[in-house]
Amino acid sequence: MAFIHGPVAESFEREVAATLREFERDLRQAWPGGVECSGDGRYRISDGTLVLDIEAHATGTRRLGPLELPQLSARYRFAGGDEAARRRLLARLDRAMQRGGG
């Protein structure tokens, strides 16, 4: 996950090192009881008037020496709310999905 620098757009795409199962687990960890899943890598998070729809799909594996990392392409689309609300929601998701150290 990339951390937030500058304004948070209403729509953007990210590459994520995770399986769909890991991605959903991390979303639910960040937003317990607030993640709707409609299948096929489609998720919705609602926070007051702000709604975030995410569509994720596997794009293969990235190899770093002997290490293989599953890759997803995730499309984020916000509706309602303002830029500050988008920033808060995304920061919460990023913290829950952060991996590794450093």
Question: pLDDT tens digits for the chain (102 residues)?
Answer: 445 677 889 999 999 999 999 999 999 999 998 899 998 999 999 998 999 999 999 999 999 899 999 999 999 999 999 999 999 999 889 888 877 654
d(CA 74, CA 16): 7
pLDDT at 4: 63
Instruction: Name the pTM for this structure.
Output: 0.87
Please enumerate, as own/partner, the contacts of 85-89 that have beta carbons within 8 Å and a separation of 24 or more: 85/47, 85/48, 85/49, 85/50, 86/8, 86/10, 86/50, 86/52, 87/4, 87/8, 89/45, 89/47, 89/50, 89/52
pLDDT at 39: 86
Strand order through the sheet with 11-16: 11-16, 67-79, 50-64, 42-47, 35-39
- What domains appear along the chain, each with residue ranges and CATH number? 12-97 (3.30.1370.80)
